[in-house]
């Protein structure tokens, strides 16, 4: 690898259905030069997250799409290697949306400092970063679990799901996790202390939920949508809360899917279904980070990372995540710490 170049992954074409390697391009170009007032950052950890699939579509959503030929969006932990502003010094550790590339410049407005005392650097885009904040605020502020509640989380071994389930346990809830391999089920039950694991590829999810949740589901943290969410809807407790975080089962469909019209079940159960974005809690991320870091120190909260080496391997890793092949928080190690 030529250290004098910047390698970046661009969107070559928009995926139609599941993304393929041909949708991505690896480009090598000179390392960008920071302008006056800017810094140059060398990426260490790149986070791969399901939301990126949405940005590959040519539709305006809560954020603009990635342009064809543009670098794919993504959260990065990196180190300042050149500073043309007094706001940063060479060597500073920062986190920001710098994209799938080895080097990036920034005027600093989209950067936050990383405190290495809180945990390993990778956690700044993991359990102490966006996925962790998503789990913390989505579960506690949107789902509002009470002690004794039955909480179900889908994609339960993923970056968000594993944290949701463990925080729910800390809050005194019974926790049922849904995942797609026996290895993942073993992990969430034996390692993370979930009460029940359901393998959606081999179990009858409806029947398994009915059996695991005889009093109904009080809180559902939805990372997947589709038929699993329908099965949850058929097993709701009264006054239940459905936290709509992600709908990964729908992201890679070439055509929008149809599903049963089951909205009436919200009335039957006086239930609430609520979507959220982690940004709405930005002002309180410090609170989330401190509490999660505290639980990790106390041994109450574990996390699993799935690490891939080298920016050139990001596309294949991302495609695998879309198919549930990752196991834990998916990260690309872009360079040595």
Which CA distances in Å does 26 have to 58, 100, 125, 310? 21, 10, 23, 12
C-beta atoms surrounding 4 within 10 Å: 7
What is the size of the binding site for its own copies (CB under 8 A)?
Answer: 33
Q: Which two structure tokens, joined as six digits, stand for 282?
A: 């930005």
Write out the H or E segment, with its range, that includes residue 321.
Answer: helix 314-322
Judged by CB under 8 A, the chain residues 166 through 225 that form the site for its own copies are 222, 225
Q: Which of 259, 290, 297, 323 binds its own copies (CB under 8 A)?
A: 259
Write out the H or E segment, with its range, that includes residue 319.
Answer: helix 314-322
Q: Which of 91, 147, 214, 256 binds its own copies (CB under 8 A)?
A: 256
CB of 287 to its own copies, least distance (A): 19
CB of 217 to its own copies, least distance (A): 15
CB of 54 to its own copies, least distance (A): 8
Q: Kindly tell me which of 32 and 226 has the beta carbon lying closer to its own copies.
A: 226
Q: Kindly tell me which of 101 and 229 has the beta carbon lying closer to its own copies.
A: 229
Judged by CB under 8 A, the chain residues 33 through 92 that form the site for its own copies are 61-62
270 counts as binding its own copies under rule CB under 8 A: yes
What is the DSSP annotation of 88-136?
A: --TT-EEEE---SBSEEEE-STT-EE--GGGS-GGGGGTTTSHHHHHHH
Helix (H, G, I), strand (E, B) or coil at 63: coil
237 counts as binding its own copies under rule CB under 8 A: no
20 counts as binding its own copies under rule CB under 8 A: no
Length of the chain: 337
Binding window for its own copies (CB under 8 A); candidates: 25-33, 196-204, 209-217, 249-257? 249-257
The answer to whether the beta carbons of residues 220 and 23 sit under 8 Å apart is no
Q: Which of 146, 182, 211, 268 binds its own copies (CB under 8 A)?
A: 268
What is the DSSP annotation of 222-244?
A: ESS-HHHHHHHHTTEEEEEEEEE
Binding window for its own copies (CB under 8 A); candidates: 33-41, 72-80, 185-193, 238-246? 238-246
263 counts as binding its own copies under rule CB under 8 A: yes
In whole angstroms, give the CA distance from residue 172 to residue 148: 6
């Amino acid at each position: 690898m030529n250290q004098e170049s910047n390698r970046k992954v661009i969107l070559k074409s928009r995926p139609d259905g599941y993304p393929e390697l041909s949708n991505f391009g690896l480009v090598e170009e000179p390392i960008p030069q920071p302008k006056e007032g800017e810094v140059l950052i060398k990426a260490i950890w790149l986070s791969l997250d399901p939301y990126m699939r949405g940005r590959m579509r040519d539709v305006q959503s809560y954020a603009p799409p990635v342009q064809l030929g543009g670098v794919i969006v993504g959260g990065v932990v990196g180190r300042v290697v050149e500073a043309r502003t007094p706001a940063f010094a060479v060597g500073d550790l920062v986190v920001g949306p710098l994209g799938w590339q080895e080097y990036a410049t920034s005027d600093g407005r989209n950067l936050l400092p990383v405190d290495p005392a809180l945990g390993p650097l990778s956690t700044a885009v993991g359990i102490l970063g966006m996925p962790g904040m998503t789990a913390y605020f989505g579960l506690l502020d949107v789902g509002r679990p009470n002690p004794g509640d039955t909480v179900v989380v889908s994609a339960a071994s993923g970056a968000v799901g594993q944290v949701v389930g463990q925080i729910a346990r800390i809050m005194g809830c019974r926790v049922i996790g849904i995942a797609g391999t026996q290895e993942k089920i073993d992990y969430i039950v034996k390692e993370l202390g979930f009460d029940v694991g359901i393998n959606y590829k081999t179990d009858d999810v409806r029947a398994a939920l009915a059996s695991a949740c005889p009093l109904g589901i009080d809180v559902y943290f939805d990372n997947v949508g589709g038929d699993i969410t329908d099965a949850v809807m058929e097993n709701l407790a009264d006054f239940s809360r459905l936290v709509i975080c992600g709908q990964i089962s729908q992201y890679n469909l070439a055509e929008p899917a149809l599903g049963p019209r089951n909205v009436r079940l919200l009335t039957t159960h006086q239930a609430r279904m609520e979507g959220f974005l982690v940004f709405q809690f930005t002002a309180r991320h410090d609170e989330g980070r401190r509490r999660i870091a505290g639980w990790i120190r106390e041994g109450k909260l574990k996390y699993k990372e799935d690490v891939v080496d080298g920016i050139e391997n990001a596309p294949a890793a991302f495609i695998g995540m879309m198919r549930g092949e990752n196991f834990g928080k998916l990260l690309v190690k872009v360079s040595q710490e």
